[in-house]
Structure formats: structure tokens, C-alpha cells
């Protein structure tokens, strides 16, 4: 166990690279597919073990590995997980396994390249969540662009070229802005270590106005990098295209994990490292988050394409995360010369806001992952996603209907399912700190119910089934079928783990919340100590 | 050692080896009466490669030498050794991979390979020269040999046009540079860079001449490095020249322009830092923006890479614009001094761009075209070339795990350190623009595949597989490995660049 604990993170991280390498040297599609599925099980198993092995009594960063890397830069191969990253690594492993498994069923062209890309994608995502060194963090952050670009561009829909390049360039511009901020932070703090840089209070030794100016620049550099990824309104315009054109498993990873990288960056880097600038600009984060919630929800209602609708719902749902983060940043301020965090109630509200944001990251991963898979299920059969072509599917495909109901209600925030708790905590925290914007955000919750119930459930599933609307149904294998056929084995297997998690976390959110709360309190205590 | 004698020969060892190689080929060419074109080309190429290796070893040997001035005109120092090794490495890569391509297309192999050795020698001399006259001679020698090499495909109109264009622009730039140098000489009374610096430091009135002189001298060097607004020759020349020649023009020859510029500005004109830094910042922004905007509209990959190399020159110049002065900081501990970024960038860019041009050459050999349409579905026809090209394109964009990223990391870092906010904002926007045209090639290579098999059968050009010749493959492989190595574990390169840059910076006042 000692050995495993010491090498846990490097094994999870390197394993996908090994899998990718083996895939390169294999020429049998079956071997590649099953090998890929089996390979993805190891990180899943290890990350599950990691959740159980994380010691709450000790807290903080655990399973740390710190090896010198580029000595003259003082950059090191520094990995570690805390309560914030551990569940996200588990989420990454889970969604990767499910996506690989699902892809094995539906991808039949250029199989080798597909699986190599997928393993590399897994590598980069694990890397971002584990890295505690800016150079390493940036390395994995940028590498994740490339396989996703290829996944969208090669296996995507009709408009894939446009969507993939748009995805790449938007996120690249954000990333390079972040690179500048990383460099600025480095010159101010003298280290590339994420934890030490925060502890060094970059820019704070300068005169007050200069400190605010420079740390604001660094803040906006990081903000651009992360906001493009989240994506926060108004940086979201790449998202609908990329999600809509990506292959199903690509959309699952994109929505499930890649968007979380941005939100994770805010919590891991921006809040602890630049508390003053975060606070100064907190109302911007809050406002952008609240606008995203409402705007995203309204746009959803207007969509005619089912996948595009789900894509916009991500904009809306990631708005909750921004709202929570912004609310917490607002609490870093001073009232009458006293830090607000000194007040127990404010501390609790800020912790709730962070908890809500983090929980929303996790839940959005499983819920939207499931929704994209469900869209894939119908698309493989109907070869269209036009809402107008569907109707009355509940009688034809009851199993599918059932799955969709659970996922859709979870997305809408029905109590008892996972989505509810994230919204609850976010708004509970936000109402106490930034009541007006939180109240504005509530409009989005109402509109979510509209697009989920009306656009998805009613349009697709309820009413009479009309066979003339769409006359070229196939089975999932592409053979001709007389009408919609229900889900088959591999699709069910892909979805069940997500559905189960929605129930489990809906009934007993503490499972994951324990981790997030640990980190939320640690972040806030840290900020309080450096303010 | 500042005397002319046998003892000083070691100080010009690489140059002597390269010179002997070139003369040997020339002698062989006159001695051999049978004009068997095929074998002569191959044997000259072998001789050239052998002596380039010799020159490389000589340059590595110089790394360990105590820095000193030799023959009154050149200086053996870590900075010069770094540039010499980079330049000879680049020429070596080009010779091995591009040699047979050039042999097949040219007549007069003897002249060609002789010139090839001479051009290398001119470059190694230029990077170590500390005397204005020597700088001018070396740069001019480099230019004239390059004009001939660019126009060497006599039957090819584009090659001839490229050569003439290069010559016309080049000779104007050279004469302007010479004028600038004459001003420097007139004001300071010396050709030696250190003495010029001393003269300017001693007499403020005389110093006023330095500003117009710097401007004029920069024209000539900016021309070599293809900086805006002196880059108009570059696209046509790069496009028309034989592809391996383009590969060295855009890497080694450009590196020489930067090296000479760095040495001149830092050593002789270090006192006027406050004047030339804003100028370089402006030139840098102008160069990267102009190169990128024009690269956007190209449909020929070779021409796109030509414009891209202008844009890259803009990024490289950031390093020089953000160079520290030795009075500002403790050089031994400073991580990013600007000049080391320039060196790292040049070194990484060398492998990346030579590799990219070798892929262009391989595709051209098979399809006869540089057009982006020749790259459609390349991943099916030549998967290794396509993946290698993707890595080069990512490196040019500056994605981590490639050498291009490390270069950008260092030059951006230097600019951030000096808080040149406009420069870095321009750089960010430019990186975004550049991704568009680089990835356009990736799109063609990877995305454009006919959906179903019937289409594939109908368009044989999309399915005919091909591979590059073995030496080309080997060099492309070397370039890929070097690009990724610099991206992932650049410690030794950084140390080396630190030594080179710190030495030069410490010399300045």
C-alpha cells in the first residue's frame, strides 16, 4: 500500500500514455477497442481507491510527488491531489472509461487514430487536475487541445472543420493570455510552484495601486484562459459549435471534463493566488455567471437541434459555477476595515458557494455526459437531431425515455437527484453574499424547467408517434429499421453508472461533498490568512 | 593570442575545415574529367557532409575554449560557439535530407556544393565577427553565395526570379548597412565593436551619430532576418528557391541575422539601449503582425511557411527587444535575460522549420505541388509525414511539449519581465491568428477524407501511398525528436544558452 500510495498519481497519469503507445503498434481494431477499454479501467480503479485512501484527518495535498524537472526554471514535476481534484480525477476516469466503451460500439472508421487520441486526451486531463507546477499545468492544459481538435475534426459532423478550428483558436488565445499571467506570477513570486506562489502573495509587496494594477492584469490573464474554457458568457461562442459537431464521446468528455478544467483553475489558482484582485473584480464574475445562467437557458428554449440545446444548457449550467466562485470571491473583501471572512456567517456562505460550484462541476459532468450519450443514442438511429422530426417516442422506446427522464430531471435540479444539491448550495451561498445577482439567476432556473420539460420531454417523447415525420430509421448498427428501436446492451451499460450516480448523489451528496468542503474550507482559511 | 600566427588557427578551426571542404570539392570538380552527373553529385554531397561534420566538431571544440579575440576580427566565445553549432547543424540537416533533391535538379554539382560549404563558412564567420569590416564581409559573402544558390535552378523561371529579387533587395540593403557602418566608423574612429563602445561612452556629442547609424545598420541585418519592413523579398525568394535552400534561408541564415544584430547592439551600442529597445519593440509587433496576416491568405504551403517565418522572426525579435542590460540585474541568477530566449527560440525553430520544409519537399517530390490541395488526406497516403508535419505545425504555433513552446516561453517571459504590455498583447493575438493557418494544413492532412470507399476509388490521388526517401525520413525523424526533446526536457539546451547569452551580456557595459 505504501508503494501504491507513493506512485498512485504517476501511474494514473502515465498509464494512458502507455495505452496510446501500445495502440500505435497494434493493427487489429478489435484488440485496440478492447485493449482501450481494459486500459481505461486501471485509472478508474486507482482513482476510486484514491477517493477511499484520501485522509480527511490530514487534509490538504496528498499522494504528493515532487521531482525536479527543468532546473534552471525551477520547474518541477510536482503532482498532488486534494479534496478539490480527487473527485474530478475520478470523474475524468469514469467518463473516459464510459466514453471509450461507448466509442468501441459506434466508431468504425480510423479506429486506431481515434483511440490514440482518446488515450492522449485522458493523459492531459489527468495531468491538469494533478499538476501543482505552473509549467506542468500549462503543458497538460495545452496538450488537451490537440486530441480534442482532432476528435472533432476527424470524427465530427458536417461542419466539423469550422467547429474544430474555432474551438482550438478560442481556447488557444485564452491559454496564451494565461501563459503571460503565469510568467507574471513567476516573476512576482519567484516560483512556478502553484502552492508556493500563492503563499508568496505575488505583487502584494508593491505599493497598493501598483499591486492592484499588476495583480489585476495577472487575474485577467488567468481569467481569459479559464473563462474561455468554462466557458463563461461572453466567451462561450465556440462551445455550441464544438459540442454539436463533436462525436458523441467527444462531446461527453468536452462537456464532462474539459469545461471543468476552467472552473478548476479558478478554484485552484485564481482565488488563492490573487485574493485581492479576485475580490476587486468579483462582481464581474458574479454578473457574467448570472447572465450566463439566464442567457444560456433562454437560448436553449430557442434551439431546434437537440444536441445544440444540450450544448447551450452547458453554458447555463456552468454559469452556476461562475456565480458560486464569484460570490466566494466577493467575500474576500473588507467591511469597515475588517475582513468579511472574519465573520462566521460570511465564511459559511462563502464555503457553501464554493461547495456549490465544485459540486456543480462534478454533477454537470455526470448529468451532461449522460445527456450527450442519450443524444448520441437517438442520433445513431435517426441520423438527425432536429427536434421537429421527433415526437411520441415514449411508447416506442420506453427504456430510452426512462433514462432520458432521469437525466433531464437531474439537469433541471429536481430534489432527490444530483443536480439539486449543486444549485441549492450555490444559491444558498450566493444569496447571502450577492443577493441581487442571485435573484436574477433564479430566472434561469425557471427557464431550465421550460426547455427541459417542453423542448426535450414533450417534443421528443410525448404526444402521438407520427411515422411520417421521419422515415429512415436504422438500428444502432446502421441496418434499416421500420421505426425507432430501443437502447441496446452496450448503450445501457454505458448509461447505468451515470444514472446510479445521479441517484446516489441526489440522496446522499455528502459522499462527494466531504471532499469539496474540505478544500473549500482550506481555500478560505488560506485566503483569510493572507488577506 | 591577438596576433596572426599558427597558434590562432584553432580559433578559426570550423571555418578552415569548411573552407577546405569547399575548395576540395572545387578541385575534385576540375580534376575529374568524366562528367558523370549522377555519381559526381553524390560524391560531392558526401564530401560536403563529411566536412560539415568536421566543422561541427570544430565548433564544439570551441565551446570549451577560453574566450578570446583572434586575428583582430573574430572572437571565440560561448555565444559564437552556440550560433556556429546551430548554423552548421542546420546546414548538415539540409545537406543530408535535401542533397539528392538538389543533385537531381541542378547541373554543375561541383559549383553547387562548393557554394554550399562557402555559405556555411560565411555564416560561422559572421556570428563570431567583432569587427565592422569583418561583419560586413561575412554578411555580404553570405548574401552573394545565397543569391546564387537561390537562383541555381536555371531552367526554373521562378527560381531565377527568386534569385534576382533576392539580389536586388539584398544589394540595396547591404549598401544602406555599409553606410550605417561607415557612420559608426567615422564617429568612433574604430572598426572594433568594443572600441566603438568605448568611444561613444567617452564622448557624448559623438554619440548622437550612433542613432542614425544604428538605424541604417539595422536595415541590412533586418533584411537578413526578414524583419518588417524589409521582408518583401522573403516570400518570393522562399517560394521560388529550391526547397532545401529555402529551409536554410529561413533558419540558419536568419539566425545569423539575429546573432549579428545581437552582438552589434549589445556590444557596440549597449549604451543606446534606451533608443533601440522601443525601435525593436515596434519592429517586432510590425513583423509578427504583417507575417501572420499575409500568411493567412496563402494557398501554397511553401509560401505560407515563408510568411510564417517572417512572423516567427517577429517573435524571435521579442527576445532581443526585452534583453536586460548587465547593470540592471545579476546575470548569473537571472532566469530569463531575453538573449537566452532568442537563442533557445532560434535553436528550436531551426529543427522545427527544417523539418517542416523537408516534409514540404517530400510531398513536392511525390505530387509535384506545394499547394494545400496536395496535402488533402495526407494521413492516409503518408501517415508518418502527416504526423511529423502536425508536430512541426504545433511547434510553430507554440503548443507545449514542443520546442516552439520553450522558445515562446522564454521570449514572452522576457517581455513580461520588462512589462512590455503592448508587445505581449500583440503576441497573444498573433499566436491566435497563426494557429488558423498552421492548422489549416493540419485540417487538409487529417480531416479531408472521402467519407465512403467508393469515393476513395474514384480519386486515386487521395489513396496512392508514398514514402519519402530514407535520408529524408531520417532527418525528419531527427527533427521530430529534437523538437519534442526541446519541448519536454530542455535543461541542457537552457544551460548552454545561458552560458552563451550571459557571456555576451556581461561584456557590455
pLDDT, one tens digit per residue, over A242-255 is 998 999 999 999 99
CA B445 from centre of chain? 27
Residue B231's φ and ψ, nearest 5 degrees, are -105, 0
Q: Which residues of A touch B (CB under 8 A)?
A: 69-74, 113, 135, 138-139, 142-143, 145-146, 149-150, 153-154, 160-161, 164-165, 168-169, 172-173, 176-177, 179-180, 183-184, 186-187, 217
- Which of the residues B408, B435, B495 would you substitute to probe the A interface, choosing the one with the greatest number of A C-beta atoms within 10 Å? B435
Residues with Cβ within 8 Å of residue B22, at least 6 apart in sequence: B51, B113, B114, B115, B116, B117, B118, B121
Strand stretches in A368-416, DSSP E: none
Neighbours of B351 (CB within 10 A): 29
Give the separation between CA A285 and CA A275, rounded to whole angstroms. 13
- A173 min Cα distance to partner chain B (Å): 5
Chain A environment of B443 (Cβ under 8 Å): 153, 161, 164-165
- B443 min Cα distance to partner chain A (Å): 7
Of A72, A165, A179, the CB nearest to B335: A72
Interchain contact, B399 vs A179, CB within 8 Å: no
pLDDT digits (tens, 9 = 90+) for A352-367: 999 999 999 999 999 9
Of B429, B432, B447, the CB nearest to A160: B447
Give the separation between CA A69 and CA B259, rounded to whole angstroms. 29
Interchain contact, A153 vs B446, CB within 8 Å: yes
Q: Which residue in chain B is spatially nearest to A173 when comparing CA positions?
A: B432
pLDDT in tens, chain B (509 residues): 456 667 777 788 899 999 999 999 999 888 876 666 667 888 889 999 999 999 999 999 888 888 888 878 888 999 999 999 999 999 999 999 988 888 888 878 888 999 999 999 999 999 999 999 999 999 999 999 999 999 888 888 888 889 899 999 999 999 999 999 999 998 888 899 988 888 888 877 777 788 888 889 988 888 888 888 888 889 999 998 999 999 999 999 999 999 999 999 998 888 888 888 999 999 999 999 999 999 998 999 999 999 999 999 999 999 999 988 766 667 777 888 889 999 999 999 999 999 999 999 999 888 888 888 888 888 888 889 999 999 999 999 999 989 999 999 999 999 999 889 999 999 999 999 999 999 999 999 988 765 555 555 556 555 678 888 899 999 999 999 999 999 999 999 999 999 999 888 887 75
Contact assessment for residue A149 and residue A164, using Cβ atoms and an 8 Å cutoff: yes
The pLDDT value recorded for residue A60 is 87
Q: Is B432 on the interface with A (CB under 8 A)?
A: yes
**Closest-CA residue to A64 (of A20, A115, A130):** A130
- Which of the residues B328, B388, B399 would you substitute to probe the A interface, choosing the one with the greatest number of A C-beta atoms within 10 Å? B399
Q: Is B446 on the interface with A (CB under 8 A)?
A: yes
The pLDDT value recorded for residue B1 is 44
Give the separation between CA A318 and CA B71, rounded to whole angstroms. 69
Of B443, B494, B495, the CB nearest to A165: B443
pTM (2 d.p.): 0.94
pLDDT digits (tens, 9 = 90+) for A432-490: 999 999 999 999 999 999 999 988 888 888 888 888 887 788 888 778 888 888 888 88
Q: Is B417 on the interface with A (CB under 8 A)?
A: yes
The pLDDT value recorded for residue A461 is 87
ipTM: 0.93
Question: Which residues in chain A land under pLDDT 50?
Answer: none
The pLDDT value recorded for residue B329 is 67
The pLDDT value recorded for residue A338 is 84
Give the separation between CA B197 and CA B270, rounded to whole angstroms. 7
Give the separation between CA B328 and CA B141, rounded to whole angstroms. 37
Amino acid at each position: 500500500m505504501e508503494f501504491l500510495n507513493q506512485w498512485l498519481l504517476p501511474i494514473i497519469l502515465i498509464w494512458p500514455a502507455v495505452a496510446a503507445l501500445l495502440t500505435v503498434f497494434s493493427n487489429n481494431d478489435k484488440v485496440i477497442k478492447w485493449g482501450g477499454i481494459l486500459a481505461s479501467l486501471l485509472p478508474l480503479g486507482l482513482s476510486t481507491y484514491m477517493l477511499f485512501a484520501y485522509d480527511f484527518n490530514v487534509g490538504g495535498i496528498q499522494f504528493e510527488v515532487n521531482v525536479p524537472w527543468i532546473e534552471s526554471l525551477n520547474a518541477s514535476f510536482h503532482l498532488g491531489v486534494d479534496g478539490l481534484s480527487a473527485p474530478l480525477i475520478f470523474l475524468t476516469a469514469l467518463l473516459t472509461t464510459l466514453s471509450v466503451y461507448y466509442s468501441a460500439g459506434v466508431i468504425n472508421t480510423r479506429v486506431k487514430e481515434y483511440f490514440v487520441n482518446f488515450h492522449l486526451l485522458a493523459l492531459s486531463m489527468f495531468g491538469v487536475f494533478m499538476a501543482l507546477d505552473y509549467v506542468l499545468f500549462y503543458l497538460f492544459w495545452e496538450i488537451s487541445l490537440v486530441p480534442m481538435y482532432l476528435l472533432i475534426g476527424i470524427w465530427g459532423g458536417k461542419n466539423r472543420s469550422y467547429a474544430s478550428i474555432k474551438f482550438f483558436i478560442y481556447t488557444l488565445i485564452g491559454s496564451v493570455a494565461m501563459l503571460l499571467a503565469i510568467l507574471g506570477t513567476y516573476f512576482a513570486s519567484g516560483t512556478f510552484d502553484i502552492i508556493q506562489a500563492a503563499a508568496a502573495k505575488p505583487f502584494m509587496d508593491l505599493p497598493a495601486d501598483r499591486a492592484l494594477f499588476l495583480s489585476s492584469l495577472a487575474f485577467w490573464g488567468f481569467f481569459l484562459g479559464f473563462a474561455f474554457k468554462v466557458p463563461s458568457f461572453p466567451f462561450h461562442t465556440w462551445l455550441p459549435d464544438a459540442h454539436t459537431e463533436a462525436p458523441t464521446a467527444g462531446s461527453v468528455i468536452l462537456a464532462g471534463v474539459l469545461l471543468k478544467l476552467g472552473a478548476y483553475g479558478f478554484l485552484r489558482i485564481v482565488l488563492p493566488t490573487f485574493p485581492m484582485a479576485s475580490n476587486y473584480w468579483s462582481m464581474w464574475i458574479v454578473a457574467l455567471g448570472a447572465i450566463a445562467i439566464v442567457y444560456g437557458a433562454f437560448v436553449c428554449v430557442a434551439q431546434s437541434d437537440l444536441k445544440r440545446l444540450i450544448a447551450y444548457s452547458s453554458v447555463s449550467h456552468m454559469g452556476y459555477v461562475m456565480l458560486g466562485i464569484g460570490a466566494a470571491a466577493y467575500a474576500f473583501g473588507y467591511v469597515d476595515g475588517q475582513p468579511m471572512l472574519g465573520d462566521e456567517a460570511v465564511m459559511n456562505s462563502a464555503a457553501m458557494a464554493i461547495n456549490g460550484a465544485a459540486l456543480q462541476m462534478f454533477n454537470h459532468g455526470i448529468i451532461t455526459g449522460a445527456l450527450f450519450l442519450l443524444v448520441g443514442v437517438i442520433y445513431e438511429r435517426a441520423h438527425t437531431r432536429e427536434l421537429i422530426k421527433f415526437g411520441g417516442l415514449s411508447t416506442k422506446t420506453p427504456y430510452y425515455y426512462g433514462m432520458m427522464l432521469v437525466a433531464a430531471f437531474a439537469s433541471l435540479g429536481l430534489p432527490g437527484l444530483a443536480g439539486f444539491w449543486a444549485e441549492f448550495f450555490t444559491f444558498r451561498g450566493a444569496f447571502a453574499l450577492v443577493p441581487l445577482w442571485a435573484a436574477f439567476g433564479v430566472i434561469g432556473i425557471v427557464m431550465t424547467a421550460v426547455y427541459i420539460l417542453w423542448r426535450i420531454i414533450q417534443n421528443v417523447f410525448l404526444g402521438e408517434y407520427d411515422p411520417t415525420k421521419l422515415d429512415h430509421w436504422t438500428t444502432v448498427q446502421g441496418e434499416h429499421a421500420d421505426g425507432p428501436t430501443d437502447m441496446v446492451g452496450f448503450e445501457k451499460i454505458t448509461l447505468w453508472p451515470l444514472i446510479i450516480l445521479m441517484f446516489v448523489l441526489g440522496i446522499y451528496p455528502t459522499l462527494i461533498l466531504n471532499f469539496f468542503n474540505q478544500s473549500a474550507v482550506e481555500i478560505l482559511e488560506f485566503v483569510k490568512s493572507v488577506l | 593570442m591577438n596576433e596572426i600566427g599558427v597558434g590562432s588557427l584553432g580559433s578559426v578551426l570550423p571555418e578552415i575545415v569548411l573552407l577546405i571542404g569547399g575548395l576540395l570539392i572545387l578541385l575534385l570538380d576540375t580534376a575529374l574529367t568524366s562528367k558523370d552527373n549522377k555519381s559526381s553529385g553524390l560524391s560531392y554531397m558526401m564530401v560536403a557532409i563529411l566536412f560539415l561534420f568536421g566543422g561541427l566538431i570544430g565548433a564544439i571544440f570551441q565551446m570549451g575554449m577560453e574566450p578570446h579575440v583572434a586575428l583582430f576580427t573574430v572572437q571565440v566565445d560561448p555565444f559564437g560557439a552556440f550560433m556556429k553549432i546551430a548554423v552548421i547543424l542546420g546546414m548538415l540537416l539540409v545537406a543530408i535530407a535535401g542533397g539528392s533533391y538538389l543533385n537531381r535538379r541542378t547541373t554543375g554539382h561541383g559549383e553547387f556544393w562548393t557554394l554550399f560549404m562557402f555559405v556555411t563558412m560565411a555564416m560561422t564567420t559572421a556570428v563570431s565577427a567583432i569587427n565592422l569590416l569583418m561583419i560586413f564581409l561575412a554578411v555580404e559573402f553570405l548574401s552573394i553565395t545565397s543569391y546564387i544558390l537561390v537562383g541555381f535552378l536555371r531552367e526554373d523561371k521562378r527560381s531565377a526570379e527568386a534569385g534576382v529579387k533576392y539580389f536586388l533587395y539584398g544589394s540595396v540593403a547591404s549598401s544602406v548597412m555599409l553606410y550605417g557602418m561607415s557612420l559608426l566608423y567615422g564617429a568612433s574612429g574604430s572598426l572594433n565593436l568594443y572600441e566603438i563602445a568605448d568611444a561613444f561612452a567617452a564622448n557624448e556629442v559623438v554619440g548622437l551619430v550612433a542613432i542614425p547609424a544604428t538605424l541604417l545598420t539595422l536595415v541590412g541585418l533586418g533584411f537578413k532576418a526578414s524583419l518588417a519592413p524589409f521582408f518583401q523579398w522573403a516570400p518570393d525568394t522562399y517560394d521560388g528557391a529550391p526547397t532545401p535552400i529555402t529551409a536554410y534561408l529561413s533558419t540558419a541564415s536568419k539566425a545569423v541575422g539575429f546573432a549579428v544584430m545581437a552582438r552589434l547592439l549589445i556590444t557596440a551600442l549597449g549604451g543606446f539601449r534606451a533608443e533601440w529597445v522601443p525601435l525593436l519593440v515596434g519592429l517586432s509587433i510590425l513583423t509578427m503582425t504583417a507575417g501572420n496576416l499575409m500568411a493567412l491568405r496563402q494557398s501554397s504551403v511553401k509560401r505560407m511557411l515563408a510568411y510564417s517565418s517572417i512572423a516567427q522572426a517577429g517573435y524571435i525579435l521579442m527576445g532581443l527587444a526585452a534583453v536586460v542590460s548587465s547593470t540592471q540585474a545579476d546575470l548569473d541568477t537571472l532566469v530569463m535575460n531575453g538573449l537566452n530566449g532568442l537563442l533557445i527560440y532560434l535553436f528550436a525553430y531551426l529543427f522545427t522549420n527544417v523539418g517542416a520544409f523537408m516534409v514540404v519537399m517530400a510531398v513536392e517530390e511525390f505530387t509535384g505541388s506545394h499547394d494545400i490541395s496536395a496535402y488533402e488526406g495526407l494521413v492516409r497516403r503518408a501517415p508518418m509525414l502527416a504526423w511529423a508535419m502536425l508536430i512541426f505545425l504545433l511547434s510553430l504555433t507554440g503548443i507545449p511539449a514542443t520546442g516552439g513552446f520553450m522558445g515562446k516561453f522564454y521570449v514572452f517571459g522576457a517581455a513580461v519581465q520588462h512589462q512590455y504590455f503592448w508587445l505581449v498583447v500583440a503576441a497573444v493575438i498573433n499566436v491566435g491568428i497563426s494557429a488558423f493557418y498552421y492548422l489549416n494544413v493540419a485540417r487538409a492532412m487529417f480531416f479531408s477524407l472521402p467519407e465512403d470507399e467508393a469515393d476513395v476509388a474514384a480519386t486515386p490521388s487521395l489513396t496512392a501511398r508514398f514514402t519519402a526517401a530514407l535520408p529524408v525520413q531520417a532527418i525528419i525523424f531527427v527533427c521530430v525528436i529534437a523538437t519534442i526533446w526541446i519541448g519536454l526536457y530542455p535543461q541542457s539546451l537552457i544551460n548552454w544558452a545561458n552560458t552563451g547569452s550571459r557571456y555576451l551580456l556581461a561584456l557590455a557595459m
